[in-house]
A and B are shown apart, each in its own frame.
Chain A
Amino acid sequence: QLQLQESGPGLLKPSETLSLTCTVSGGSITSDHWTWIRQPAGKELEWIGRMYTGGNTNYNPSLKSRVTMSLDTSKNQFSLNLSSVTAADTAVYYCARGPYPHYFDHWGQGTLVTVSS
């Protein structure tokens, strides 16, 4: 059974770079769509971006200038970097998989990232 697990620092200072990793077990990341989604407390789920076949990426236009995603097929992991964080980036961050770009059938449990000085 496919499982996803997010990991990374839970506390950052403003202007730092958020770096999260999603470790995938029970399946390979060499196909399908691998996505990051976040949810600030009391707010809506927000799609951050996706990686798919060949290392291609699509990012949310509102975050594009600060987001980088990458795949490490040797470790079966995919990663999110979000630069120049502010308090507005405080959220629960989820990684998810979709067989297609338009829905997600497997999700991680989520990891809380707090940005505070």
Chain B
Amino acid sequence: ETVLTQSPGTLSLSPGERATLSCRASQSVSSTYVAWYQRKPGQAPRLLIYGASRRARGIPDRFSGSGSGRDFTLTISRLEPEDFAVYYCQQYGGSRDLTFGGGTKVEIK
């Protein structure tokens, strides 16, 4: 099983600032198989990024993903009030290996 470690656990920022979220895998992961999700309280998780860098339908271009190998990053270029939420990375390592990171909470400073 591939373990994903997200850092930091909590990111305290102000609207308009840049957010950089990290996801490190315990072994190399194909970038094709890395996704990022946003979750707000009481809501279903929302797909932001798939294939490490491809924005899902309807996702604003202030969200971007990058990375390869073991290290992947989600960047929010300028935080909007609606972006304060918990973000999860996820990898797929085969038909029986699909794991999520522990999440990064982006909170208002």
Residues of B within 8 A of A9 (CB): none
Once A45-B88, A103-B50 are accepted as A-B contacts, the answer to whether A110 and B100 lie under 8 Å apart by CB is: no
Question: Is A47 in contact with B99, judged by CB distance below 8 angstroms?
Answer: yes
CA distance A60 to B44 in the complex (A): 22
Contact in complex: A109, B102 (CB < 8 Å): no
Residue count of chain A within 8 Å CB distance of chain B: 19
Taking a contact as CB atoms under 8 Å apart, the answer to whether B43 and A105 are in contact is: no
Contact check, A103 vs B90: say whether CB atoms are below 8 A apart: yes
B43 touches A109 (CB 8 A): yes
A111 to nearest B CB, angstroms? 11
Could you tell me if A46 and B45 are in contact, using CB atoms closer than 8 angstroms?
Answer: no
**Which B positions have Cβ atoms within 8 angstroms of A?**
1, 32-33, 35, 37, 42-47, 50, 56-57, 88, 90, 92, 95-96, 98-103
| Nearest 6 A/B pairs, CB to CB | A102-B92, A45-B100, A107-B44, A103-B35, A47-B98, A103-B50
Partner-B contacts on A (CB < 8 A): 44-47, 58-61, 94, 96, 101-105, 107-110
